[in-house]
């Protein structure tokens, strides 16, 4: 080994979902929204003054922060914006999880949590979900250096009730509790209302799922002004200009069109519920998802075999070769037409 190699930080990186190339495929593997962004986004893009791009963007993301604050009924000083919720959560790990005590998050949850903890040398423990993949609030009563969990959970799609979310927060008022609500708009009740009651609660959401803006990389956090100031202090010490100008402009336009947002979310919910029926008819079982995906296992055919067969047909879903997950497929909810094509192939394949 060369001498300098001993100083390289060794990490096991997060593995994102495959981004296949081509037009003649059905992409149901990364939980993207199958519908385009709000019409106002296209209009804003068409009229964007590209001469502005020679200047730095607003480091405070003031217009987008204000739009989000108005939409959610909070103060501007309660909103933090980042390059997708991944950036927001990574910044939160760096800012708030600064203890010798372990951070707690579920053993089956967003796999990036372990990556950030390892990267920032943060100790952590992973309480196991129960046999039905549910979070047990009492597992988070122990002493810790912080708590984070997705709600609905990923990759299971299961929703923890707001009462149980508050139970976890109530038992952890000496540390920061982060609720990762990437999928909350697809049927859950947000913990945002609890930020007025608990100064240690940070709620994180994203534009990537319900707002059809995964390609623009916009995420945000809402919490007590002291939490937001701490996040900004770390951000400005790391990278003042995290958000690019088009994302700020187009993200602000997205927030303005609430009717379109609700319409597309409802279409996804309707397709999800119909898809549950079709999957059951085909012999699949799954947790009762309240997200924009279904985590399904077939009663006869292994998930890995189905994953490969679907891929041969240019139908992409997500497979996790991990303990407890290896016989499940995570299937993103696409358009009705995309889901019909998926089920037509599965019906034929499973009949052979």
The CATH number for 45's domain is 3.40.640.10
- Residue 15 is predicted with a pLDDT of 83
Q: Do 146 and 271 belong to one domain?
A: no
- Give bridge partners of residue 148 from the DSSP assignment: 178
- Residue 70 is predicted with a pLDDT of 98
**Residues spanned by the domain of 69:** 39-256
- Residue 326 is predicted with a pLDDT of 96
Q: Do 46 and 112 belong to one domain?
A: yes
- Give bridge partners of residue 330 from the DSSP assignment: 295, 318
What is the rounded CA–CA span in Å between residue 229 and residue 206? 20
Q: Is residue 147 helix, strand or coil?
A: strand
Is residue 7 domain-resident? Answer: no
Is residue 3 domain-resident? Answer: no
Question: Residue 345's domain is classified under what CATH number?
Answer: 3.90.1150.10
Contact of 221 with 228, CB cutoff 8 Å? yes
Q: Do 143 and 287 belong to one domain?
A: no
Question: Residue 145 CA to chain centroid, in angstroms?
Answer: 22
CA distances from 188 to 46, 135, 209, 218 (A): 35, 15, 14, 21
Q: Which two tokens stand for residue 35?
A: 């519908």
Question: Residue 20: CB partners within 8 Å, gap ≥ 6?
Answer: 27, 314, 316
What is the rounded CA–CA span in Å between residue 347 and residue 210? 29
User: Which of 256, 281, 306 is the last residue before a domain boundary?
Assistant: 256
Q: Do 125 and 191 belong to one domain?
A: yes
R_g (Cα) of the chain, nearest Å: 21
Q: Do 286 and 137 belong to one domain?
A: no
Q: Do 217 and 112 belong to one domain?
A: yes
Question: Residue 106: CB partners within 8 Å, gap ≥ 6?
Answer: 126, 127, 128, 129, 135, 149, 153
Q: Do 295 and 223 belong to one domain?
A: no
User: What secondary structure does DSSP assign to 162-204, as a single string?
Assistant: HHHHHHHHHTTTTS-EEEE-TTGGGTPPPSGGGGGT-TTEEEE
Q: Do 199 and 249 belong to one domain?
A: yes
Low-confidence ranges of the chain (pLDDT < 50): none
As for how many domains the chain has, the answer is: 2
Please write the tens of the pLDDT for every residue from 170-195: 999 999 999 999 999 999 999 999 99
Q: Do 213 and 322 belong to one domain?
A: no
What is the rounded CA–CA span in Å between residue 93 and residue 47? 38
Question: Residue 172 CA to chain centroid, in angstroms?
Answer: 23
| Buried residues in 25-47 as b, exposed as e (16+ CB within 10 A) | ebbbbbbbbbeebbebbeebeee
What is the rounded CA–CA span in Å between residue 65 and residue 54? 22
- Residue 7 is predicted with a pLDDT of 84
CA distances from 70 to 78, 192, 210, 272 (A): 11, 14, 18, 30
User: Which of 256, 290, 325 is the last residue before a domain boundary?
Assistant: 256
Ramachandran angles phi, psi of 222, nearest 5°:
-125, 135
What's the residue count for the chain?
352
Work out whether the CA dihedral 151, 154, 159, 161 comes out positive or negative. negative
Q: Do 217 and 298 belong to one domain?
A: no
Ramachandran angles phi, psi of 342, nearest 5°:
-60, -50
- Residue 83 is predicted with a pLDDT of 97
Is residue 155 domain-resident? Answer: yes
Q: Which two tokens stand for residue 214?
A: 């995964």
Is residue 6 domain-resident? Answer: no
User: Which of 256, 271, 297 is the last residue before a domain boundary?
Assistant: 256
């Amino acid at each position: 080994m060369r001498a300098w190699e001993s100083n390289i930080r060794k990490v096991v990186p997060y593995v994102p979902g495959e981004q296949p190339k081509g037009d003649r495929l059905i992409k149901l593997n990364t939980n993207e929204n199958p519908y385009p962004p709000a019409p106002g986004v296209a209009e804003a893009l068409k009229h964007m003054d590209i001469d502005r791009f020679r200047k730095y963007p607003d480091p405070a993301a003031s217009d987008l922060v204000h739009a989000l604050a108005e939409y959610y009924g909070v103060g501007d000083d309660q909103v933090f914006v980042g390059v997708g919720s991944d950036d927001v959560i990574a910044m939160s790990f760096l800012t708030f999880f600064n203890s010798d005590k372990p951070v707690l998050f579920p053993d089956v949850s967003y796999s990036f949590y372990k990556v950030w903890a390892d990267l920032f040398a943060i100790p952590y423990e992973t309480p196991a979900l129960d046999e039905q993949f549910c979070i047990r609030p009492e597992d988070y009563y122990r002493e810790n250096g912080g708590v984070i969990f997705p709600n609905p959970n990923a990759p299971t799609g299961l929703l923890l009730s707001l009462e149980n979310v508050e139970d976890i927060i109530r038992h952890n008022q000496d540390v920061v509790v982060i609720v990762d609500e990437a999928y909350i708009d697809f049927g859950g009740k947000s913990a945002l209302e609890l930020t007025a009651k608990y100064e240690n609660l940070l709620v994180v959401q994203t534009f990537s799922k319900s707002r059809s803006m995964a390609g623009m990389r916009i995420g945000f956090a809402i919490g007590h002004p002291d939490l937001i100031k701490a996040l900004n202090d770390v951000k400005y010490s790391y990278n003042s200009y995290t958000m690019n100008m088009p994302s700020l402009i187009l993200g602000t336009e997205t927030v303005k069109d609430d009717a379109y947002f609700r319409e597309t979310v409802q279409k996804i919910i309707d397709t999800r519920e119909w898809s549950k029926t079709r999957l059951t008819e085909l012999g699949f079982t799954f947790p009762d998802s309240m997200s924009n995906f279904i985590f399904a296992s077939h009663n006869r055919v292994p998930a890995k075999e189905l994953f490969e067969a679907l891929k041969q047909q240019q139908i992409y879903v997500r497979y996790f070769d991990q303990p407890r997950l290896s016989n499940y497929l995570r299937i993103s909810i696409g358009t009705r037409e995309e889901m019909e094509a998926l089920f037509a192939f599965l019906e034929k394949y499973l009949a052979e």
